[in-house]
């Protein structure tokens, strides 16, 4: 049953890959579609999901604490390993992103399939906390922490991120309880409907199988960490924070999904090892077809 629920999502990823390889509709479509989704459709989905979020629910606060704890534990573990086995920022940045960043489109699609509207609301809250955190950690890892000497630049970078801005707006509207008048909520819902399917198609179009011929030990080790060990850590953290079933599902799902394709863009912009990052995105996305149902079944969340 779990596989039947999840496979159509990966079917969209495979379809996007096939269409892109065939050059359909054309080579300029996929970058434009990704920008449209990243700057408009997906932010609309986040705002609409957060509008009615019960931010005074103790479980929401626990989910936030569990998200921070899981991400920081994994990051601390990698930083400790780096001390034992030194590596340049150009490779440590992709390694960290491969372990703590997540494919938001796939995470929300799986959560919506398994937990419905309640799961989407919890997932939006998770993103509001986790997206800024993983972005900061990724930038620090890629820059050898030099960016900390220029906090203003880091803040400007974060405030230009449309996902972070959408989360801030959604949380503000939820706290005010005013909603969006004159059909505004309906408008956002219509925009949001196209986000997840288009996002998954774009994920498939961004896959680069040729990068799998690179550093196989690094690709294998990081994928095992991300897809098997991190969700195990998340399950332990969920138990420690006494999360409810839906909150625990959200935490584990976003810890079990592959890393974000946008990690490749950030890596290239900051002079990191783009080939390694592209390989991690591709390898994790392909292997996750098997590992996500397996992890959810083993942890009793399917």
Instruction: Please give the pLDDT value at position 1.
Output: 67
CA distances 173 to 37, 49, 61, 176, 179, Å, are 22, 11, 18, 5, 6
In a domain, 148, yes or no: yes
In a domain, 37, yes or no: yes
Instruction: Please give the pLDDT value at position 152.
Output: 74
In a domain, 4, yes or no: no
In a domain, 9, yes or no: no
Which residues in 54-92 are b (16+ Cβ under 10 Å) and which e? eeeeebbebbbebbebbbebbbeebeeebeeeeeebbbb
In a domain, 83, yes or no: yes
Please tell me the number of Cα atoms within 13 Å of 113 on its side-chain side: 22
pTM value is: 0.93
Instruction: Please give the pLDDT value at position 147.
Output: 65
95/75 Cα distance (integer angstroms): 10
CB atoms within 10 A of CB 22: 8
154/117 Cα distance (integer angstroms): 34
49 and 213 Cβ atoms separated by less than 8 Å: no
In a domain, 15, yes or no: no
CATH code of the domain in which 78 resides = 1.20.1530
The tens place of each residue's pLDDT in the chain, 302 residues long, gives: 677 888 899 999 999 999 999 999 998 999 999 999 999 999 999 999 998 888 888 999 999 999 999 999 999 999 999 999 999 999 999 999 999 999 999 999 999 999 999 999 999 999 999 999 999 999 999 987 666 667 777 778 788 889 999 999 999 999 888 778 888 899 999 999 999 999 999 999 999 999 898 788 999 999 999 999 999 999 999 999 999 999 999 999 999 999 999 999 889 888 999 999 999 999 999 999 999 999 999 998 86
In a domain, 90, yes or no: yes
Domain count across the chain: 1
In a domain, 180, yes or no: yes
* Domain span holding position 134: 29-297
């Amino acid at each position: 049953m779990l596989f039947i629920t999840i496979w159509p999502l990966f079917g969209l990823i495979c379809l996007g890959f096939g269409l892109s390889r065939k050059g359909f509709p054309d080579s300029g479509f996929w970058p434009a579609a990704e920008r449209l989704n990243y700057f408009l459709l997906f932010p609309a989905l986040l705002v609409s999901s957060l509008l009615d979020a019960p931010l005074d629910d103790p479980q929401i606060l626990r989910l936030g604490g569990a998200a921070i704890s899981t991400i920081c534990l994994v990051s601390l573990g990698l930083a400790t390993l780096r001390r034992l086995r030194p590596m340049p920022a150009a490779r440590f940045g992709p390694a960290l992103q491969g372990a703590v960043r997540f494919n938001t489109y796939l995470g929300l699609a799986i959560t919506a399939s398994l937990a419905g509207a309640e799961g989407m609301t919890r997932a939006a809250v998770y993103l509001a906390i986790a997206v800024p955190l993983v972005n900061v950690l990724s930038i620090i890892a890629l820059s050898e922490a030099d960016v900390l000497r220029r906090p203003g630049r880091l803040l400007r970078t974060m405030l230009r991120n449309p996902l972070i801005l959408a989360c801030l707006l959604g949380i503000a509207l939820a706290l005010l309880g005013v909603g969006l008048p004159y059909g505004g909520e309906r408008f956002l819902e219509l925009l949001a409907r196209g986000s997840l399917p288009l996002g998954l198609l774009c994920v498939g179009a961004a896959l680069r199988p040729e990068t799998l011929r690179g550093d196989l030990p690094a690709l294998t080790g990081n994928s095992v960490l991300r897809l098997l060990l991190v969700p195990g850590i998340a399950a332990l953290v969920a138990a420690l924070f006494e999360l409810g079933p839906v909150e625990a599902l959200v935490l584990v799902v976003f810890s079990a999904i592959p890393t974000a394709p946008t990690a490749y863009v950030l890596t290239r912009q900051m002079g990191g090892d783009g080939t390694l990052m592209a390989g991690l995105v591709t390898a994790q996305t392909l292997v996750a077809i098997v590992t996500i149902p397996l992890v959810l079944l083993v942890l009793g969340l399917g």
